Amino acid sequence: MTEPPGHAHAMQIVQAVRAACDPRSAMASSLRARPTRSHRPALIAVGKAAASMYRGFLDLFPEPQSRFMVVPEGTDAPPWAIRADHPLPTTRCLDAARALIEFVHQVKANGTCDGFILLLSGGASSLLTLPFDTIPLERYAPAIEHLLRSGLSIHELNTIRKHCEQLKGGRLGVLMHPLPCDAYLLSDVVGDDPSTIGSGPTVPDPTTVESFRALLQRDPSSLFAQHLLTATAHIPETPKPGDPRLANARHAIVGSNAMAVQAAAECARQLGYHPVTAETGVVGEAEAAGRRLGSRASVAAPGEAIIWGGETVVSVRSPTGRGGRNQHLALASAIEVEGLPNVTIATFATDGVDGPTDAAGAIVNGDTCVTARAKGLDPATFLRECDSHTFFSLLEDHDHSYLMRTGPTGTNVNDIALALVRPAVS
């Protein structure tokens, strides 16, 4: 397969990001910098990177006698790990959450452990779903699906989860009390807010029932919102900062999107790109971000690299479209750079999964939309229909692949987008 210029450099940067965000090495480094307070810990690992973080723990410490792990299907994990589902909750997620509650009770009852270690990574919010008894799963799961497609930020979505569920928003930490808990967090949220990562199961919750209800009331015509409002009419408030039951819980950030951006920028420099501009905290609508990135690339100097990190959202306008926020962003940027001969843009999810597709993201250039129009495909129509995955699938042939397929990477530190403007030939 003959790829266009710039493609190979983009893939080299992707590989550099994956190496820098390896959860196993990041976990070991974090443990050296901030050792656990427990000598006989009970270890809990939940998320897409749970197994890798656990291996990082074992690189320094013996295997704990009491251990518990929940991972998504397809993860390379120990045979005793529990498998649950992501991003939409199922009965397996409820079973996993109930099993965790029983595990914590047993640890506290048998008295052989002197504290908990929690290894938390992306996907944990879904994997440990346990709504209050007033919210049956058959209603909660469609509500979560609706909210995921509505364009809410991860902070807003997790605010809703905290006030609908039994383990989030500090409630797991309360369950662990009075034993200490050392949480090591691989951040999958922009800004690395511990109370949002995994919906903050051991962290005091700064959000309130009032703010939760305000989010749902943004969409008063939604039956999903109305059901959640009714079902949570009498729920207790989440534990707040200063709650003594969480005084013995602490946390450390193991890895983050900033690390990924730094690795991408360094690799770009090594490949000869100058200047290299890097930015973190990119959020908002994927289409708007893609258009900004494409516009910025169209006026960049030869040899410039633009690296963005963050996590955008897609307000889905068509129920039949297939794609993800990274593929959507890539398509929007491709429209902006149409016809430019020296620009390559790539955007990808560091966990290897972009929406309900088999792709992590996409790589585009100035010829992408030109090629599409020659095949009778209108890029703007596919963008409007939120059907980016179909668009790129129809474009692929034996000479060029637009979709980036890495498979699940075992980590999750948000997304990376990059625009490379090839240096001028001297």
Structure confidence at residue 164 (pLDDT): 96
Q: Which residues contact 238 (CB under 8 A, 6 or more apart)?
A: 162, 163, 168, 169, 170, 171, 205, 207, 208, 209
Tell me the HSE value of 198 on the side-chain side, using a 13 A CA sphere: 36
Residue 59 CA to residue 68 CA, distance in Å, equals: 18
Q: Kindly state the DSSP code that residue 141 receives in the 8-state scheme.
A: H
Please check whether residue 174 is in contact with residue 239, taking contact to mean a CB–CB distance below 8 angstroms: yes
Q: How many Cβ atoms are within 10 Å of 275's Cβ, its own excluded?
A: 12
Q: 108 to each of 232, 336, 417, how far by Cα in Å?
A: 30, 58, 45
**Residue-by-residue pLDDT tens, the chain, 426 positions:** 456 668 999 999 999 999 998 999 999 999 999 999 999 999 999 999 999 999 999 999 999 999 999 999 989 999 999 999 988 999 999 999 999 999 999 999 999 999 999 999 999 999 999 999 999 999 999 999 988 888 888 899 999 999 999 999 999 999 999 999 999 999 999 889 999 999 999 999 999 999 999 999 988 778 888 889 999 999 899 999 999 999 999 999 999 999 999 999 999 999 999 999 999 999 999 999 999 999 999 999 999 999 999 999 998 888 889 999 999 999 999 999 999 999 999 999 999 999 999 999 999 999 999 999 999 999 999 999 999 999 999 998 866 789 999 988 888 899 999 999 998 654
Alpha-carbon dihedral sign for residues 366, 367, 370, 373: negative
Distance CA 379, CA 366 (A): 13
* Contact of 259 with 21, CB cutoff 8 Å: yes
Q: Among candidates 344, 335, 363, 336, which has minimal Cα distance to 273? A: 344
Tokens representing residue 161 in the block = 């989860």
Euclidean distance between CA atoms 159 and 309, whole angstroms: 23
d(CA 224, CA 219): 9
Q: How far apart are the first and last CA of the chain?
A: 27
Which DSSP state fits 65? S
226 class by beta-carbon count within 10 Å (0-12 exposed, 13-18 middle, 19+ buried): middle
Helix axes 209-216, 154-162, angle to 10 degrees: 120
Please answer whether residues 198 and 46 qualify as being in contact, where contact means their C-beta atoms are separated by less than 8 angstroms: yes
Chain centroid offset of residue 302 CA: 32
Domains of the chain, earliest start first: 7-17+258-421 (3.40.1480.10), 34-255 (3.40.50.10180)
How many C-beta atoms surround the C-beta of residue 396 within 10 A? 11
pTM: 0.84
- Rounded to 5 degrees, φ, ψ at 349 are -85, 130
